[in-house]
Amino acid sequence: MIKYNLTCKCGSTFEGWFINSSEFDTLRKKKLVKCIYCDSSFIKKSVMAPNLPRKSNSLLKKTKLQKNIKKQLLDFRKYIEKNCRNVGENFSKEARSIHYDKKTSKGIYGKATPEETSELIEEGIEVATIPWIDKSEN
Distances (CA, A) of 57 to 49, 53, 65, 130: 20, 12, 12, 29
**pTM for this structure?**
0.51
Dist. CA 2–CA 32, nearest whole Å: 17
Dist. CA 104–CA 85, nearest whole Å: 13
5-37 pLDDT, tens digit per residue, is 899 999 898 888 888 888 988 999 999 999 888
The 3-state DSSP composition of the chain as helix, strand, coil percent (nearest 5) reads 40, 20, 40
105-116 pLDDT, tens digit per residue, is 788 999 999 899
